[in-house]
Amino acid sequence: MIRSLARLMPVLATTAVFLAGFLLCSLVYPNFASMRVVMNLMTDNAFLGIVAVGMTFVIISGGIDLSVGSVIGFTTVFLALAIERWGVPPLMAFALILIICAAFGACMGAVIQYFELPAFIVTLAGMFLARGVSFLLSTESIPINADLYAHLSDHAIRFGTGARLTVPAMIMLAVVIGGMVLLHLTRFGANVYALGGSRAATALMGINVPRTTVLIYTLSSVLAGLSGIVFSLYTSSGYSLSAVGVELDAIAAVVIGGTLLSGGYGFVFGSFVGVLIQGLIQTYISFDGSLSSWWAKIATGLLLFAFIAFQQITLHLARRPARRSGRPSPPPPAAIAQGVARP
Amino acid sequence: MNFKALLLATAVSGTLFAAHAQAAELTVGFSQIGSESGWRAAETTVSKAEAKKRNINFKIADAQQKQENQIKAIRSFIAQGVDAIFLAPVVSTGWDAVLKEAKEAKIPVVLLDRDIDPAGKELYLTAVTSDSVHEGKVAGEWLVKTVGTKPCNVVELQGTVGASVATNRKKGFEDGIAGASNVKIVRSQTGDFTRAKGKEVMESFIKAEGGGKNICAVYAHNDDMMVGAIQAMKEAGLKPGTDVLTVSIDAVPDIFKAMAAGEANATVELTPNMAGPAFDAVIAYKDKGTVPPKWIQTESKLYTQADNPKAIYDAKKDLGY
């Protein structure tokens, strides 16, 4: 019981930071504490939330995916061209781009697995490739005028004064819930944790490591594609420069959410709250209106430092009592998290 | 008891005062693109000053060149319940959804410096922009007036190929000199809006035109290229401003420095004060319900050596250019 609580500590801390931050903002700006602001947080960060879910899987497995921002950019350009220039029906274009993204992710996963290359390098190559291709397709912003887009961007569940749960927000919430189920309740999820704990041990346990690795990067790219669809809904256009640097925002959200960068430990919910915290900082800055927007980056950087330090301290504390009583030290939370070893 | 009464009185008067203060002053949110160029930084500085002049509570969100940040900023301005929103759109498309939200919340939106796709016309109150064709025309007309009936060979430094500003400034200048058969553009090449490229292209013009003897005037699509061209002319032993006339566009501080030194002749201003007319339009709309025209054109003012360039340089140099 205590152990499971300790396991949840980082996520609880992130949530507490978010709630405290929201409270603070509400005290400073009376209009802040409204459903409208909460719903805006969901809508405005939907694309980031979706890629952060994929990034959580990748990072827990001990990898990294730097290509997601470029995949979003590529997706928006592809969709705009497919729908506006090539006359592909929007739904078919969605299906097509998700298949392309899946193939792209599977290739990166396969290269990482079979050529035994660091994920950092492979996905960096993927990042340049996807961004380059989107520039090749078009350097201009292309508007998407399809009826479906107008319909989807108008469609929202409205409540209160001006608050609306938009389609992008709904998609993000569905992805977050789906991601939680997949990570915490399925065999695939358990394999992801195992992979992050130790690759060699995972292989010895008879888990299909190549298949899991390929699937993880496929999942990340598909979610990046979905995020690109949401992004194109959000702006009703395709632009090769969209979502530059989103991969780094996603990594920051995942780490702030309590996931260990070395892998083996983390929660989808934490990443979701990490995204909301970043959105909260941005909202605060535009409510203030006189601060430089670069403070958002500074605040995110400070939070990252704080959370990494916090993780190290909790890890350290978790190990201490055992040493003192002379018992063998318990396995790191990574192993506990996926149930490989229980002392 | 007394203390309580006092507290209550303070609280009540405080609220009253606050309510009064709120009614008196407008709050305007401005989603600025970023600070990618000197002109944009100056626009931000001037907007703040103009807001202060009118006692407007002005909130600026710098989008760091990202549309998603601009959309986020507009949404939070709506959530704050500001009285008006200014938007300098980074791209022309993709604003429909968020501008519809602003319209639903009855918050007028004014576009600054750039326009959006024609489909969104009914979603904003007005757009304050300059007319870059007109800017070129003002430059061309100045040259025609200055040279009189003498024959004059002009070399042109174009902006980035394909950029609408470059196309428009070229067309405007051609319109401006169309009536004068003695003024002819003999060479025209792109200098990419940069100082270094402007100098390089000018050097090749000078070589091609017999050491510059056949060049009567230089027209550059922006001041930066002209500053480079002036450098090239000086290095070739020519006297810009006397041997060769110069006219360019933008009115950045450095061209006034050159004008004060007698090395440049004229510049057409792209004013960084887009917010001033926008504030006036919003105030008139809020107070009297006056609906402004869909397009407010800013003045393209011509500056020459007669306009005390030193004083203008001093006034402009701290705006952030």
pLDDT confidence of residue A31? 87
- Looking at per-residue confidence, does A8 or B169 come out higher? B169
pLDDT confidence of residue B24? 54
Rounded CA separation A121/A131 (Å): 15
Q: Has residue B18 got a pLDDT over 70?
A: no
In total, the C-beta contacts within 8 angstroms joining chain A to chain B are 101
pLDDT confidence of residue A337? 45
For residue B79, which residues of chain A lie inside 8 Å, CB to CB? 31-32, 34, 36-37, 40, 162, 283
- Residue A343 covered by a domain: no
First to last CA, chain B: 60
Cβ contact, residue pair B61, A286, below 8 Å:
yes
Burial of B242 (0-12, 13-18, 19+ CB in 10 A): exposed
- Residue A342 covered by a domain: no
Mean pLDDT of chain A: 89
- The string of pLDDT tens digits covering residues B144-203 is 999 999 999 999 999 988 888 999 999 999 999 999 999 999 999 999 999 999 999 999
Q: CB-CB: which of B62, B92, B97 is closest to A293?
A: B62
- The string of pLDDT tens digits covering residues A124-180 is 999 999 999 999 999 888 889 899 998 898 888 988 777 889 999 999 999 999 999
- The string of pLDDT tens digits covering residues A251-270 is 999 999 999 988 999 999 99
Positions of E strands within chain A? 142-143, 156-159, 163-166, 237-238
- The string of pLDDT tens digits covering residues A309-328 is 887 887 777 666 554 444 44
pLDDT confidence of residue A225? 98
pLDDT confidence of residue A2? 60
For residue B72, which residues of chain A lie inside 8 Å, CB to CB? 40, 44, 279, 282-283, 286
pLDDT confidence of residue B244? 96
Q: How far away is chain B from the Cα of A237, in angstroms, using its nearest Cα?
A: 5
CA distance to A92, A101, A127, per residue, from A134 (Å): 19, 13, 11
Q: Has residue A298 got a pLDDT over 80?
A: yes
pLDDT confidence of residue A3? 63
* Number of separate domains in chain A: 1
Q: Has residue A330 got a pLDDT over 90?
A: no
Task: Give chain B's domains with CATH numbers.
Answer: 24-130+272-290 (3.40.50.2300), 132-270+304-316 (3.40.50.2300)
For residue B63, which residues of chain A lie inside 8 Å, CB to CB? 293
Cβ contact, residue pair B63, A37, below 8 Å:
no
- Residue A164 covered by a domain: yes
Q: CB-CB: which of B61, B64, B119 is closest to A289?
A: B61
CB atoms inside a 10 Å sphere around CB B289:
7
Comparing CA positions, the residue from B61, B81, B48, B16 lying closest to residue B276 is: B48
pLDDT confidence of residue B13? 44
Lookup: tokens for B283: 């105030």
A47 contacts: CB under 8 Å, gap ≥ 6 = A72, A168, A172, A227, A228, A230, A231, A234, A243, A246, B68
Q: What is the value of ipTM here, to two decimals?
A: 0.83
Print the domain residue range for A279: 2-337
Note whether A98 and A260 are within 8 A (CB): no
Cβ contact, residue pair B76, A242, below 8 Å:
no
Rounded CA separation B26/B280 (Å): 12
Q: How far away is chain A from the Cα of B203, in angstroms, using its nearest Cα?
A: 31
Note whether B190 and B161 are within 8 A (CB): yes
pLDDT confidence of residue A339? 43
Residues of chain B numbered 180-199 and touching chain A (CB < 8 Å): none
Q: Has residue A86 got a pLDDT over 50?
A: yes
CA distance to A223, A228, A229, A238, B99, per residue, from A235 (Å): 18, 11, 10, 8, 11
Comparing CA positions, the residue from A173, A205, A172, A174 lying closest to residue A190 is: A205
- Residue A95 covered by a domain: yes
Mean pLDDT of chain B: 90
Q: Has residue A333 got a pLDDT over 80?
A: no
Cβ contact, residue pair A235, B72, below 8 Å:
no
Chain A interface, Cβ < 8 Å to B = 29, 31-32, 34, 36-37, 40, 43-44, 47, 141-143, 145, 150, 153-154, 162, 231, 234-237, 239, 241-244, 279, 282-283, 285-290, 292-294
Cβ contact, residue pair B75, A285, below 8 Å:
no
pLDDT confidence of residue B197? 94
CB atoms inside a 10 Å sphere around CB A298:
11
**Banded pLDDT at B22 (limits 50, 70, 90):** very low
The whole-number average pLDDT for the span B14-22 is 43
Comparing CA positions, the residue from B97, B95, B86 lying closest to residue B117 is: B95
Rounded CA separation A172/A275 (Å): 11
**Banded pLDDT at A292 (limits 50, 70, 90):** confident
Rounded CA separation B28/B50 (Å): 12
What CATH number does the domain containing A270 carry? 1.10.3470
- Residue A185 covered by a domain: yes
